Amino acid sequence: MLKTTYKTGKDVFSIRFDDLDQNCLSELSSNEASEIIGGFTINNDSGSTRSFYTFGEFVSPKRHVLQPEQSGTYNGEYILYSSSSSTFEPTLSDELAPTDIVSFGLQGDGDTVYIGSGAILAAPSGS
C-alpha cells in the first residue's frame, strides 16, 4: 500500500511503499517518457528562420519558430514543415523518438529544406 505524508508549512513530502504491488509499477511508453525528458531536439542549420508544427498521438499540434543556429526540445512524434524556402510545400517528418536529434538543412539549389538525423550534416550547396 502506498502511504504519503505531507506536513503543512514545510517543504516535506515523502512516499513509502509498504507491500510493494508490482501492478502499480510499469515502464513508461516513449510518449510518456517524452513528457518527462522533454522530447526530441531540433537544430536549425538551414541559415534562415524555420516555422514548423510538432504533434503526436497524445500531443496536440503546436506551432514553433526556430531562428538560424538555434535549437529546441519538443514533445510529440512528428514535425510538419515546409520543404521549400520559397513556396509552401507541407512535409511530414518520419516518426521521431524522444531521444532523437534532428536538424533543418538545405540541399540542392538551396531552396529545398530537409530534416536530417544527427547533429552533423553535409554543408548546403554553395557553402
Domain boundaries, the chain: 29-117
pLDDT at 80: 95
pLDDT at 25: 64
pLDDT at 120: 38
pLDDT tens column, 71-126: 999 989 999 999 998 899 999 999 998 889 999 999 888 889 988 875 433 333 34
**What confidence category does residue 1 fall into, taking pLDDT thresholds of 50, 70 and 90?**
very low
The CB-side HSE value for 65 (13 A sphere, CA atoms) comes to 3
pLDDT tens column, 24-68: 666 766 556 545 555 789 999 999 999 999 999 888 999 999 999
Counting Cβ atoms within 10 Å, is residue 64 exposed (0-12), middle (13-18) or buried (19+)? Answer: middle
pLDDT at 117: 75
Secondary structure E strands in the chain? 2-7, 12-17, 40-44, 50-55, 62-66, 71-74, 78-82, 90-92, 101-107, 112-117
pLDDT at 63: 96
The one-letter code for the residue type at 106 is: L
Query: What are the backbone dihedrals phi and psi of residue 13, each rounded to the nearest 5 degrees, phi first?
Result: -150, 125
In 1-127, where does DSSP find H-type helix? 30-37
pLDDT at 122: 37
pLDDT at 65: 96
Residue whose C-alpha is closest to residue 85's, from 115, 124, 49: 49
Query: What are the backbone dihedrals phi and psi of residue 78, each rounded to the nearest 5 degrees, phi first?
Result: -135, 155
pLDDT tens column, 19-33: 556 666 667 665 565
